[in-house]
Amino acid sequence: MPTDHHHPHQTKQRDSNVATLARAWKSLRIHLLAKVATFDLSMTLLLAVFLLGWLPIGNVEGFAAEPGSIQVATFDLDVTPPVGSMMAYDPVRRHDELGLRCRGLVIVGAGQPIVLCAVDWIGIANGAHDAFRDALATAAETTPDRVAVHCLHQHDAPRSDFTAEQILHHAGATDLGGFESSFQRDVLQRLSQTVTAAVPHAQTITHAGFGTATVEKVASNRRLLGPDGKVKATRYTACGDPELRAEPEGTIDPELSCLVFYNGTKAIASLTYYACHPQSYYRTGVPSPDFPGIARIIRGQDVPETMHIHFNGAGGNIGAGKYNDGNKANRLVLAARVADAMKRAFDSAERFPITADLISWSVAPVALPPAPHLDRDQLQATLENPSSPEAQSAPANLAWLGRCQSGHKIDLACLGVGNVRVLHMPGELFVEYQLAAKKMRDDLHVAMAAYGDYGPGYIGTEIAYGQGGYETSQRASRVDKSCEHVLMDSIALLLGKAE
């Protein structure tokens, strides 16, 4: 087994010494360069070479890196809303033993830093998604296009949409509901501080690993088709109808993927990906990470020295309804099944040496066409009539439509780690996109994180928009059916399969 070349205590002491020296030299350099103007030209050049040569420009302060190596800094923040604040559907009544987390990592050494972030909220949309990426980019000293922010989509959790909030303010609304964002802005400030503090403690990564495992009896397709090819029923994540639970699983991706970063034999971070709506039960008034978050907690207890970060895959049309009748005891049953797959994928991960040249980050900005039913004048009229049944969704619909009409593009991204590719996608994406991406590059290990920018809502396949059902209804989806071609072309580009 490969081992770390440095004793852990020596490494920690060395990194501390380097950080102290770096700060001292930075302070001295600023002071002396301010005095340089009083010297003659030859002394100026000499001091410039001396001072600028000591600390390599562009290196992250706080640790020394081997040439060609990468480093990973992890971060973890409590993002549980306070009692009395509004979540996506209900105000917080109380807290229980669990809370909501914002976790991620910063990859340093492969060009500008790369930031991956997963949040236990229902969704972060539009201007809020921009703000989170901007804040993380500033904290990690990188650019927003090298930052991916995703939610796990738990329902007893907050939403965040600064654009919708602004629309309500302009309309003179006094009740902002779940769009009131003072807590979310506080989280942004604390998250920036957390990441800034984490980066100097980045650890050298010697190896990466990738493993998969089949998740048993969790995921099932929500959209049950009749003989005519239309959706006859929706099997939600909690399904009390035994006839619907008896229907086949349908199209799912049963595979949970696990990407691990190691320092020698120690796993620094474990990133898992699995496509499924995460609700066992909700509308309790108690913030909950639900069964995927509990699975993550279980893994944290099993392997406490590793940061466990979970991403929801393309689970827009996937839930646990076949295996969950709504009995509250099922939350732990589902969590145990996911945790078991996380363990098996982690334990079976195939390790390989990793250097900076094996890390890549690609971005494909896309303009997703808005749904044809979105009409600005109608939405504005709805917004001004709070008693309308559609008034609650009007701010988010107006926010998304305005972004589209302004020419805004969403960044699709792909992280490359050796022969691993992780796609970072927006919205409540259908699982068919994930399956198609894996099939497109079956010579690589492909994983997917969806629920990035939450603005588009559900993103179905083209055929799904003619099949009916909740997910592609006007209530749920804000994009046109032609999105399939836009997304599949960009996925092919990111995976190196564009024609």
| Banded pLDDT at 54 (limits 50, 70, 90) | very low
Q: What is the mean pLDDT of the chain?
A: 90
Judged against a pLDDT cut of 90, whether residue 44 lies above it is answered with no
Q: Which residue is associated with the tokens 């802005």? A: 185
Tell me what pLDDT residue 65 has: 54
Q: Using 50, 70 and 90 to split pLDDT, how confident is the model at 349?
A: very high
Q: What is the 3-state secondary structure (H, E, C) of the chain?
A: CCCCCCCHHHHHHHHHHHHHHHHHHHHHHHHHHHHHHHCCHHHHHHHHHHHHHHCCCCCCCCCCCCCCCEEEEEEEEECCCCCCCECCCCECCCCCCCCCEEEEEEEEECEEEEEEEEECCCEEEHHHHHHHHHHHHHHHCCCHHHEEEEECCCCCCCEEEHHHHHHHHHCCCCCCHHHCCHHHHHHHHHHHHHHHHHHHHCEEECEEEEEEEECCCCCEECEEECCCCCEEEECCCCCCCHHHHHCCCCCCCCEEEEEEEEECCEEEEEEEEECCCCCCCCCCCCCCCHHHHHHHHHHHHHCCCCEEEEEECCCCCEECHHHCCCCCCHHHHHHHHHHHHHHHHHHCCEEEECCHHHEEEEEEEECCCECCCCCHHHHHHHHCCCCCCCCCCHHHHHHHHHHHHCCCCEEEEEEEECCEEEEECCCEECHHHHHHHHHHCCCCEEEEECCCECCCEEECCCHHHHCCCCCCCCCCECECCCHHHHHHHHHHHHCCCCC
- In the structure encoding, which two tokens stand for residue 128, read together? 């809020």
Interval 34-61 mean pLDDT? 36
pTM of the model: 0.87
Q: Average pLDDT of 171-187?
A: 92
Residue 261 confidence (pLDDT) above 90: yes
Place of tokens 């109608």: 378
**pLDDT tens sequence across 200-216:** 999 999 999 999 999 99
Q: Is the pLDDT of residue 243 over 50?
A: yes
Whether the pLDDT of residue 43 is over 50: the answer is no
pLDDT in tens, 323-345: 999 999 999 999 999 999 999 99
More confident residue, 390 or 89: 89
pLDDT higher than 60, residue 427: yes
Of 35-39, 61-65, 158-162, 190-194, the poorest mean pLDDT is in 35-39
Least confident of 90-94, 135-139, 169-173, 361-365: 169-173
pLDDT band (50, 70, 90) for residue 498? low
Model confidence at 66, pLDDT cuts 50, 70, 90, reads: low
Over residues 126-162, the pLDDT tens digits come to: 999 999 999 999 999 999 999 999 999 999 999 999 9
What share of the chain has pLDDT > 70, as a percent? 86
* Separation in Å, CA 470 to CA 285, 316, 344: 25, 11, 34
Rounded mean pLDDT, 404-417: 98
**Model pLDDT, residue 96:** 96
**3-state SS of 32-81?**
HHHHHHHCCHHHHHHHHHHHHHHCCCCCCCCCCCCCCCEEEEEEEEECCC
pLDDT at 173: 87
In this predicted structure, the answer to whether residue 111 has a pLDDT above a threshold of 70 is yes
